[in-house]
Structure 1
Amino acid sequence: MSRPLAGPQSLLRTLNGRAILEALARSGPQTRTELMSATGLSRTAVTQVLRMLDSAGAVAPAGVDRDTRGPAAGRVGLHPRLGFAAAVHVDHHAAHVVLVDATGTVRAEQHAAFPGAGGTGANGGTAGTGDRVEHIAALIDSCLRALRGPLRVAVIGVPGIVTAEGGIRDDLGPDGGAFRTALSDALGCAVRVENDVNLAALAELTAGAGGDLASFALLHLDDGLGAGIVLDGTLHRGFSGVAGEVAYLPQTPLPIGAPIVNDAVVGDLALGLGLDVDAPLIDHLTAAAGGDAAAQELVAEVGRRIVLIAGSVGLVLDPEAFILGGDAVHPLLVEAIERVAAEYAAQLPLRFLVSSFGPEAPLVGAVGEAASGLRAVLFTSILSPLTKPTR
């Protein structure tokens, strides 16, 4: 005769507690009846768990439900002072900071250029790293002053190659994790550093154009071109974090190792066409939309190069689609890409989609990862005491 499944009551409390915490984080304040429906737990179980979570300072009353028939029912939600997570997008010029709570709700936001903006990267080994860390920490502190609660975790999206250990490598070399360590010390919390285009790909995977795709490559065009690669629903970072550095794929007649598309390349193309060499791509796109023939030629060449990069990636990985992100969402550039792709369709069909978030995708991805990381830290902290045996 088989024995029925059984386990310690502490494990059951933990499982039930996590189910309720996840439901509150996912849907916001709820009544006991709503929590019963969301978790499948009995009223008695919900009441017992809420009592434990209340004693742990994890939940708090959140008004009453007056929309349903019968007596008004009290709602309960996650305690507003549990803490926050910081999502930060760092580019070569500025830092954009967003503070979120465990539900993923944005609670504060700051954006400001770095002092003396125009330098390169966030590499921890470069001059000015201390200034950049201080700048990011000051923006986060400004956000926190408007709120009540501690900072628990931070997710930082940066350009450049990011290793599994959080080290950053850009054109000035590796930093050995110095940037992450300095920022963690300044913020007093755990810091996760991630490549910004990978975060953009996670945004598309979880809430954007890639949600219904098993595989895709996000081609994000900003100061340069990078790819976020998703295979079988999972972000592919590569062994050393190099996966997605498609801007350096060989392309005739360019020499090996030459960048295919970035700000410097746009400047070189502009010089050959008699355009302003200091103007960013978005200015040339605007001019092209206004009928400037030289700017239209520049946009056509950028589109051709992006299609050839997609073709190289497609021959190796064969993703379901390529998602165009960053400046590549401009309608004129999308049109140029699709026009060139149609020329190669007989040899190599390529499907292009437009990002759901455009240039904001890296920050959207950082927000999602920060909220997820905050829930993991908070729920583990809240539920760990419940698993300890009582005497």
Structure 2
Amino acid sequence: MAAKPVPGTPSWLRETNDRTALSLLLEHGALTRNRIGELSGLSKPTAAQMVSRLETAGLIHAVGEISGGRGPNAASYAVRTDRMLGVAIDIDSHAMRSTVVDASGHEHPIATTQLSRAARDRSPEADVRAAIDAACQAAGIASATVGAVCIGVQGALDPRTDELSFIETLPGWPKKGIRKHLEDAIGLSVHIDNDVNLAAIAERTDGAGRDSAGFALLWMGDGLGLSVDQAGAVHRGASGGAGEIGYLPIPRSAAELDPAAEDLQDLIGGPAVARIARGFGMRGRSYSALVAAIPSAPMADREALLAELAPRVAVGVVPVLALLDPELVVLGGPTGSAGGARLAELVGKHLRKAWGSSTIVATAVPQHPVLRGAREHLLAEVRTALFAEVSRISA
């Protein structure tokens, strides 16, 4: 490992300047040498040297020409996005969604791969390799250029023991040593995270939590989950299992909402929401189909459904407010997305008397939030790898 350049030395100045140039290209897209010099405040000769070093190292390349008026056209340069690629993967009990991630942040197509529920047909390396191949085929790139993957799972990974828990949706996957197993099997850097934690990262970057000091994301899908963002950092707990809110028992005061419900999963999990939706005329064979029908239902049916669902959701929000007192509670997952702003408004009304300062909002990342969170993680990882190359060439 190369020694870190000493501040003020020529190698340190080269690295600082080259990092500045690369950052500008990532932020603005294609730029000429002169424009890099203007944006960085450095001289034209210095900008030309930076571009030359980065181009020689294969980190940037000429992508076109820009007319500057009199004289020859100026070459424009952009970051080589094929030097280091990642694949973001969102896996549930039925399918995987995957997409390529490059340093530019360009959004590539999302591929969907159906999964078998039989453990004999599955292994983690086969699942992940299939997701990588599908994403690369959709993006029209070679899978050999992929160096890292980020996988969102409906479970929890203990960072101390590399052990997965709550993995009923991952038949054929071992509980112990999963990350190491995958890295050894596919030869790539692997990051595994809970799907709701990744959705919270997306909510912080692109959604309702963008401007908040901290928020809690209540995920309502087939299962329930909670993720807590503290000033941009997700709280995962000592064993990675923070947020398994579905196991909380129903308080006695909420028993009248559903006498048969024993925990929050029974009250607002997928099966309960599906049952309520059918009762108000929604049609579909599965929870996913039924909840997807809510936004387009007749106004009266939709309003009645949300009015019945809101006090149930409020029961799930109360322990979040009591224990965490977040600035914001975001209702996410398929149910939160389908209920939208109206469900958030109704839940807020149920809570206002006892919890007047709470703000309840709907998710602002309705499409593929888990995948978007995985993309954000990989974007940082891919860019870090590029800047590490800058350190190498500037030494």
TM-score (norm 2): 0.82
Cα shift at 1:273: 9.5
Counterpart of 1:315 in structure 2 is: 322
Q: Look up the equivalent residue of 1:303 and give its one-letter code.
A: A
Counterpart of 1:170 in structure 2 is: 166
Cα shift at 1:228: 1.9
Alignment of 1:133 onto 2:141:
no
Counterpart of 2:40 in structure 1 is: 39
* Alpha carbons of structure 1 residues 183 and 299: separation in structure 2 relative to 1, 3 Å: farther
* Alpha carbons of structure 1 residues 220 and 28: separation in structure 2 relative to 1, 3 Å: same
Q: Aligned pair count?
A: 372
Cα shift at 1:265: 3.9
Counterpart of 1:124 in structure 2 is: none
Contact (CA 8 Å) 2:220, 2:334: kept in 1 or not? yes
| The one of 157, 160, 163 aligned to 2:155 | 160
Q: Which moved more, 1:130-139 or 1:204-213?
A: 130-139
| Pairwise CA RMSD | 3.2
Counterpart of 1:242 in structure 2 is: 241
| The one of 141, 156, 159 aligned to 1:147 | 141
Unmatched segments (≥5 aa) in structure 1: 120-126
Q: Which moved more, 1:167-176 or 1:39-48?
A: 167-176
- Between the aligned partners of 1:358 and 1:69, the Cα distance in structure 2 is 46
* Alpha carbons of structure 1 residues 130 and 197: separation in structure 2 relative to 1, 3 Å: same
* Alpha carbons of structure 1 residues 259 and 168: separation in structure 2 relative to 1, 3 Å: farther
* Alpha carbons of structure 1 residues 249 and 60: separation in structure 2 relative to 1, 3 Å: same
Contact (CA 8 Å) 1:216, 1:231: kept in 2 or not? yes
Counterpart of 2:9 in structure 1 is: 8
Counterpart of 1:97 in structure 2 is: 98
Cα shift at 1:162: 2.3
* Alpha carbons of structure 1 residues 318 and 170: separation in structure 2 relative to 1, 3 Å: same
Task: Please list the CA deviations of residues 29-75 of structure 1 after superposition, one character each: whole Å capped at 9, or x if unmatched.
Answer: 21123222433333232222222112211111111123x54443211
- Between the aligned partners of 1:285 and 1:109, the Cα distance in structure 2 is 20
Aligned-residue sequence identity (percent) comes to 27
* Alpha carbons of structure 1 residues 14 and 261: separation in structure 2 relative to 1, 3 Å: same
- Between the aligned partners of 1:287 and 1:76, the Cα distance in structure 2 is 48
- Between the aligned partners of 2:263 and 2:88, the Cα distance in structure 1 is 36
- Between the aligned partners of 2:93 and 2:209, the Cα distance in structure 1 is 27
Question: Secondary structure of the equivalent of 1:82?
Answer: coil
Unmatched segments (≥5 aa) in structure 2: 1-5, 256-260
Task: Please list the CA deviations of residues 241-283 of structure 1 after superposition, one character each: whole Å capped at 9, or x if unmatched.
Answer: 1222222233224546865432344467689999999631651
Question: Secondary structure of the equivalent of 1:335?
Answer: helix
Contact (CA 8 Å) 1:215, 1:320: kept in 2 or not? yes
- Between the aligned partners of 1:287 and 1:308, the Cα distance in structure 2 is 21
Contact (CA 8 Å) 2:219, 2:333: kept in 1 or not? yes
* Alpha carbons of structure 1 residues 329 and 36: separation in structure 2 relative to 1, 3 Å: farther
Alignment of 1:345 onto 2:362:
no
